[in-house]
Structure 1
Amino acid sequence: MPPTRRLLASTVIVFAAFGAFWGVWGAAVPRVQHQAGIGDGRLGLALLFVGAGALPAMPLAGRALDRWGPPVAAVAIAALGGAGAVVALTAVDLPSLCAGLALVGATSGAADVAMNAVAGRAEKTAGRPVITRAHGVFSTLVVLGSLATGAAASLPLVVPFAAVAVLAAAAGAFLLTTPPAGDVREDGCAPAPLGRRAAVPFLLLGVLGALAFAGENAHQSWSAVFAQGELGSGAGLSAVAPAVFAGAVAVTRFSAGGLTAAHARAVLLAGASAAAAGTLLIAAAPTLLVAGLGLAMAAAGTAVLFPTLLGIVARNARESRRGRATSIVTTVSYLGFLGGPVYVGLWADAVGLRGAMVAVAALAAALFVLAPVLLRLSGFGAVGRGRSRR
């Protein structure tokens, strides 16, 4: 297989493994919560540790990627699969769940940065859109993982996590054996420093990513809990909720995968609008069917947000700085991953899960207002007409 095609295939496989993991996790949250014996508020606290583990790992992954390349992603994705199995085996109370989720967060954060940087390299090398469609593969595997986990609800909790651990190890092995697909660096062999001034535009993109991730992870982490707690669905049926969300995300990402940077502002505004409207429909939903329709609308909106921001990074970051530029955007965005589920948990304790969904809609509204401003301040507001090399 030619090196470029091998790199593209490796990107797809790693995103598939990452999606399978989070599909299993999203559907298994109610069972993990039950095994740990905790309520909604403490579950929200425990979910905080996913982001807390991810945040310090992400900058390190970016630096490591710029120095050692795709093998960093291979190791990270394999470690993530093992971390999930550890949580399933050891999370029997709040402290053990928090410790396990910190490990999941660290490995997931490293894998997220590394695989997105690899996707950016693949997009640049192949000369065609890769990032958004790779995220579509991720979402498709979230659907399959969610459905499989729901179907396996009668089996021990560790079974689906063990299966995804095997898949993650295989994905890591395939990427590890992928040869370089040509040298696309502009600055020589050594990683070039990324100064504070050059980092600011990527920090601003990260603010938008934080709002996007907060809403996306709120739905992914809480949709099964909402279906079971507010609409009275069983454990198996509640697993359909994250599957509906991920399915709509996948369809949207494959459909929008060919959009260029010239459409970035419009895509962000349309996505934020759909996310807010869909989330409000969930909050008012009297039945699982209506909630599913709202969830699909919210999913279609959130689907395009983070990949669009990564596409801007891919077009504007120097290759020798790609890992660190990606890690800046992803790290700041993961503040939303850190805060989103906790935000829902706190609102759920105060006003119930339906009120918490209204609060999630407010996040999408904030993104709608801030997107034009921050794109202009970053200098990326006209990426379709020119390219800023940073």
Structure 2
Amino acid sequence: MSNHRAIALVFAVHGAAGGSLATRIPWIQDHLQLSPGVLGLALLCPSVGAFIGMPTASRLAHRIGARTATRMLIALWCAAVALPSLAPAPVWLFAAFLLYGATAGMSDVVMNGHAVTLERRLGRSIMSGLHGMWCVGSLIAGGAGILAAHAGIDARLHLGVAAVILLSLGLLVSRDLMPDDAEPEGPAPRRFALPSRAILAIGVVGFCGTFAEGSSADWAAVYLSKVTHAGPGLAAASFTIFMLFMASTRLVADHVVGRIGQVSMVRYGGVVAAVGGVLVVTAQSAVQGITGFALIGMGVAAVVPLVFAAAGNQGRTPGEGVAGVATITYLSGLTAPAITGWVAGATSYRVSFAVITCAAVLMSVLAGTLGRGGAASSAAETAKEPVPAAC
């Protein structure tokens, strides 16, 4: 198996781990008899855990090697999937989610840093396709979780089996990751350092893209139900369509980046997402609203992969650059659904998605920051040169 295929499958396993647990949150709520407020606090814990763990991930990768760190952390992340369902009380659920979030964030940083290094070696863009594989893994695992929930299977059994299968798959496919001795020597990542101006600028683009993505994913069904009066089935389908368009765009985006470059890809993506936002804001029917959400998904699809690639190339080390920008995008993903809800409550649903449309426009305007300066030019830009099709 090639190094490229190996890291693509690692991304798919990572996505599947997250998708497996997401479908069983209602079971956990009912099992522990959690109020919406307590569940909301519990669901904040993964982000807190990720913020705590991510700054240490790049140092771990430097100390033991990116390949070894990726294998270890992907295994811990898959094992942690089963922990929330085993929690006997809310306090244990908080602890389980903290560990779950820490392993998620740390594995996210090291596998993206490893992917940036491989992208440099290949001399062409691969990050969007890798994140597309993450979406594929999430969708497959989410579908399996829906079937398990519909069949009434205990989440402890479902997630326990899923954890064992994914852990085994993660260890199997990660054997063929790029060897640690193939990675260039670099300075040790700092224990803590504020992101540089270049990383912050890239992070703002990532913040805008993740804001539009997170808000649309969480609020699409509610928006269509409340604004266009769509039925429950049609409203729920909006999320699936949004994710399908985002995943399919990521899978082909590397080829487009190879032709037009990462800056143009993000700039045009922002325009597409803004058009989608306008359709959502002006929607008089569910079909128009779903079309708008599909365009938002298509427009923001490549933003996070390209932001990670750009940050990895502009940081002192790939891991440090990815960690800096990942912190910003995680913050956006954490706050976006809440801010959208607050704006909708204070004004209206249409106004809240007008704000999201503005975020897409800002993302397009600031796209040029992905191509400025840095430790190395992004492979997404050098991908314009002819390269072998296989890796």
**TM score, norm. by length of structure 1:** 0.79
1:245-300, CA deviations, whole angstroms, 9 ceiling, x for partnerless residues?
22111211122112149622221122222223324434555665444322211110
Consecutive unaligned residues of structure 2, counting only runs of 5 or more, are: 384-391
User: Using a 3 Å threshold, how does the CA distance of structure 1 residues 110 and 359 change in structure 2: closer, same or farther?
Assistant: same
| Aligned counterpart, 2:290 | 292
Cα root mean square deviation, aligned: 3.8
Q: Percent identity over the alignment?
A: 26
Letter in 2 for 1:75: M
Q: Greater shift after overlay, 99-108 or 177-186?
A: 177-186
Partner SS state of residue 191, structure 1:
coil
Q: How does 1:20-99 map to 2 (within 5 A)?
A: 20-28=16-24, 37-39=34-36, 46-68=42-64, 69-90=66-87, 98-99=94-95
| Aligned counterpart, 1:191 | 188
| Aligned counterpart, 2:251 | 254
Residue from 239, 257, 264 that aligns with 1:266: 264
**TM score, norm. by length of structure 2:** 0.79
Contact 1:27 1:239 in 2 (8 A): no
| Aligned counterpart, 1:171 | 169
| 1:147 Cα deviation after fit | 2.9
Separation in 2 of the partners of 1:273 and 1:47? 32
Q: Greater shift after overlay, 50-59 or 172-181?
A: 172-181
Separation in 2 of the partners of 1:266 and 1:42? 43
| Aligned counterpart, 1:324 | 320
Letter in 2 for 1:13: L
Letter in 2 for 1:150: I
Letter in 1 for 2:279: L
Partner SS state of residue 138, structure 2:
helix
Partner SS state of residue 257, structure 1:
helix
Q: How does 1:1-390 map to 2 (within 5 A)?
A: 1=1, 5=2, 7-28=3-24, 37-39=34-36, 46-68=42-64, 69-90=66-87, 98-154=94-150, 155-156=152-153, 158=155, 160-174=158-172, 177-178=175-176, 180-181=178-179, 183-187=181-185, 191=188, 199-223=196-220, 231-233=230-232, 240-258=237-255, 259-260=257-258, 263-283=261-281, 285=283, 288-316=286-314, 321-351=317-347, 355-372=351-368, 374-375=369-370, 384=381
Letter in 2 for 1:362: C
Partner SS state of residue 361, structure 2:
helix
Contact 1:53 1:106 in 2 (8 A): yes
Matched positions, count:
374
1:320-379, CA deviations, whole angstroms, 9 ceiling, x for partnerless residues?
x2222221221222221222233234335545655543433333233233333x447656
Letter in 1 for 2:44: L
1:120-141, CA deviations, whole angstroms, 9 ceiling, x for partnerless residues?
2222334443221111111122
Partner SS state of residue 153, structure 1:
helix
